[in-house]
Amino acid sequence: MIYCSITAALLWRRPGPIRFDTLARENRPGRHGIWQRPVERRRLREAPLLIPCAPGVALPAEKEQVVIPIAVKPSGKAESERPIAAITYGANPRKKGLARVVEAFAAVRREGEELLVAGLAAEEARKAGIGPVAGVRYLGRLSADRYRALLRRARVYICAPRWEDYGIAQLEALADGCLLVTTPAAGPYPALGLARALDRRLVSDELGGALRTALDDPLPDYSQRAAELLAPFSPQAVQERIATVLLPALERLCR
């Protein structure tokens, strides 16, 4: 049995490999997670194999681990025209730093530019303390197909997390041809390293300036290089790693 998250493993009846993006001690740092931490440490010691989604998680050095990324691929043919200036995903506005994103966009927006916020309705944004801003449109919950279609029409994906468990939305945006503007963030966040390799100007706590750079002075080969850097995350590459690395490791446990 492979446990699908570290939280699921906390309740196990017998040890098994654990698949996870990050640890509970990292994404549940408040008092409500105190009971989890000693249990989590025991589970990490007892698990015969750890299967993180990305490197960079602080794990016991002696434990066998196999990194298996979450697969990502383009959702369709890239659009020749990208009329949407910027898009973000705001379903958890505090975690995603949505207030910082909206503030940065408002500070540098030019006439006609629009920021789309997927995953959050305007009323939910208001309850989170984010007031109406010209050019910001809240779309609420979207189907995966509609959301990815918007990524293919957007020029920039912008986000401001302080902590990122993994960041699949950023990888999807890169796969669909967006430039990624992001703050530096703690956590296993594989897209952060890709963003820095693609254009370090777009990784900054000065989000407004980075956004303006992305819109006004994009590197011409950005999308092509992004596709190359995303090769290890393709379904074919992930499947090959499962077949050649993970399955042999699991077979050793069964002997």
Q: Is residue 1 assigned to a domain?
A: no
For residue 166, tell me if it sits in a domain: yes
Decide: pTM greater than 0.85. yes
Q: Are residues 112 and 213 in the same domain?
A: yes
Of all residues in the chain, the percent with pLDDT exceeding 90 is: 82
Query: What is the token pair recorded at 229?
Result: 């850097």
Checking if the pLDDT of 71 tops 80, the result is: yes
> Which residue, chain included where needed, has tokens 């912008």?
158
Cα–Cα distance between 129 and 221 in angstroms, integer?
38
Give the containing element (helix H, strand E) for 241. Answer: helix 235-241
Q: What is the mean pLDDT of residues 228-242?
A: 98
CATH value at residue 109: 3.40.50.2000
Q: Which residue has the higher pLDDT, 126 or 31?
A: 126
Residues 96 and 204 in one domain: yes
Q: Are residues 101 and 31 in the same domain?
A: no
77 occurs within a structural domain: no
Do 136 and 171 belong together in one domain? yes
Query: What is the domain range of residue 48?
Result: 6-71+234-254
Regarding whether 216 and 117 lie in a shared domain, the answer is yes
**How far apart, in whole angstroms, are the C-alpha atoms of residue 4 and residue 16?**
10
DSSP string, 117-130: EETB-HHHHHHTT-
Instruction: Answer whether residue 20 is part of any domain.
Output: yes
* 105 shares a domain with 27: no
Name the DSSP letter for residue 245. I
Distance CA 97, CA 111 (A): 24
Specify the 3-state DSSP secondary structure of 115: strand
pLDDT tens column, 186-201: 899 999 999 999 999 9
Residues 212-226 have pLDDT tens digits of 999 999 999 999 999
**The pLDDT of residue 73 is above 80:** yes
CB contact at 8 A, 159 and 88:
yes
- Say if 34 falls within a structural domain: yes
Q: What is the number of structural domains in the chain?
A: 2
Q: How confident is the model at residue 61 (pLDDT cuts 50, 70, 90)?
A: confident
